[in-house]
Amino acid sequence: RFIAFDSTPATKNISTDKTKPALPKPPAAIDSKTGGVNSHWFAFDAKVGQRLAIEVFAERIGSGADPMFRLLDPKGREVDYADDDDVLGSDAGLVHTAKLAGQYRLELRDVQYRGGQPYRLRVGSFNIWPDLKPATGAVIEKEPNNAPAQATPLSLGQPAFGRIEEPGARDHFSFTGKKDAWVTIRAFSRSVGSPAYIYLELLNKDGNAIATAGTENTHQTVLRHRLPADGAYTLRVEELIRAGGPRHVYRLTTHAGRGAFQLKLKTDKNKADRFWAIPGQQVNLPLQIERHGYDGAINLTTAAGWTTAEPIKAKAKDFTAKLTVPDDAQPGTLHHLRLTGTGEGDDPTTSVLDLRAAHRARWPQLAFPPAALRHVVPVAIIEPTRITVAAIKIKAGAKAKVRVTTLRPPPPIGQKAAPQPITIQLKNLPAGIKAPEKITVDAKKNFVEFELTAPAEAVAGKHTVMVVAQGKYRGADWTHESQPVALEILPK
């Protein structure tokens, strides 16, 4: 699941006793788990006119909780209540202005009395709902524009910003297009914190709708259409369920070209949305290509130092992108990769790999997974093996048994384990100490035992040796050294 980070001081103190509530001091955050049939009680002081902002994170951190809470004033009366929210989803949030001075109590529970589900409660005077602003250079819709004749002009390629200011309102934008150009218009609302469900219609010069988009309220609204003729066109923007208000804002991106495509990470129960690898290894990303008027080849690029094996062939709709991890990648580091596809031609179309479907499959309760993760592939660099060896003691003229344990990394998600033999060598052995010529950890085992032999004339003393392991992981050769291992030669 996700973890919420912010600057609010956090605590884990809760109470199930209404008469003895936990006493967080706002601004405060409480990290806990739902109490089943037991409500959690909190209390805090407020002055007359003080603004109280209260929200709980559950759905947004991948929890199974469906929280609700109610606020009681100093006289014990319920003065506010929150359950599902038009922006926060099944998470609850409210802003209340205190009318009385004194102690306010807050009751929080799961609506279905489920227990053990994580949540993060925040109390303070912060903004719960985003204050969305126009992008730099955006065309801002101008009222009145409820009719096509009042449309705000824009040029394809410009972003736009608007607001459905009241229920049933419509906004219109006008632009000029060329025959056979593919127009792509994306609406951003729910995914960026607006309660609006945006519905788009593309009208020709006669005012007839020639394309629509936006009937699925858990998908981003994307209108794509090949223009039938040169001339004037109008874009109509509506709220799908005819809602509206000050917070019902939206952003639009517009593009015109010779066609488009979209790269998506394939997903099902056996597909991964996160990866791990060792330096030098190839990471295989299963891709789905949605083509909209572009059937040419697609070149793939990603972060510096990472290489891609080959481009996507023309007309291909399925492809496995093979990325090679840099040899100098350090185990323990996490890489967020953006995979960009670029088409052919003088004015090529581009697309960044989209993981939204994969995230929705993993967190089905999240209608809109965090936007910051939508276009990044997480790849953790891991050690090819973890070597464990106990300290070694050997008498001059004798033998000592040594056991080397090699813990192999797990297979990538959705793939079968394919363990390979591991070759072992000892580095820095003292003079005269002999090891077997060939030491190998069998592919079906995670350890090997062997004997060291010391000559009778071996000089007593303390030394350190290194275990050097070599093998393959998912096609990549690797070499890994252990931490120094103590080796002591004892007198006869």
**CA distances (Å), 162 to each of 84, 132, 137, 153, 236, in order?**
25, 10, 13, 13, 11
The amino acid that residue 369 corresponds to is P
Looking at residue 4, its pLDDT comes to 79
Looking at residue 3, its pLDDT comes to 79
Burial of 21 (0-12, 13-18, 19+ CB in 10 A): buried
SS3 of residue 263 by DSSP = strand
Q: Do domains 10-124 and 139-257 have the same CATH topology?
A: yes
Looking at residue 270, its pLDDT comes to 56
Please state the φ and ψ torsions of residue 400, each to the nearest 5 degrees.
-135, 135
SS3 of residue 345 by DSSP = coil
To which residue do tokens 């040899």 refer?
327
Looking at residue 271, its pLDDT comes to 64
**CA distances (Å), 200 to each of 212, 246, 339, in order?**
6, 20, 29
**pTM confidence score:** 0.77
Contacts of residue 283, defined as CB under 8 A and 6 or more positions apart, other chains included, come to 275, 277, 322, 323, 324, 325, 379
Look at residues 189, 255, 254 and name the one whose alpha carbon lies nearest to residue 220.
Answer: 189
Looking at residue 367, its pLDDT comes to 77
Please state the φ and ψ torsions of residue 148, each to the nearest 5 degrees.
-55, -35
**pLDDT average per 10 residues of sequence, the chain (492 residues):** 83 96 96 97 98 95 94 98 91 97 98 96 93 91 93 96 96 96 94 93 96 86 95 97 94 91 82 81 91 94 89 96 92 94 88 90 81 90 94 97 95 84 97 96 97 96 97 88 96 90
Selected from 1.10.1060.10, 3.30.70.20, 3.40.1410.10, 2.60.40.10, the CATH number assigned to the domain covering 386-411+418-490 reads: 2.60.40.10
Please state the φ and ψ torsions of residue 373, each to the nearest 5 degrees.
-95, -5
The token duo for 58 is 């559950």
Domain boundaries, the chain: 10-124, 139-257, 261-381, 386-411+418-490
Radius of gyration of the chain (CA): 31
H and E: helices and strands count for the chain: 1, 38
Write the class of the CATH domain 139-257: mainly beta
Looking at residue 269, its pLDDT comes to 60
Looking at residue 180, its pLDDT comes to 92
The amino acid that residue 107 corresponds to is E
In this structure, which topology does domain 10-124 adopt according to CATH? Jelly Rolls (2.60.120)
> Which CATH code for domain 261-381?
2.60.40.10
SS3 of residue 155 by DSSP = coil
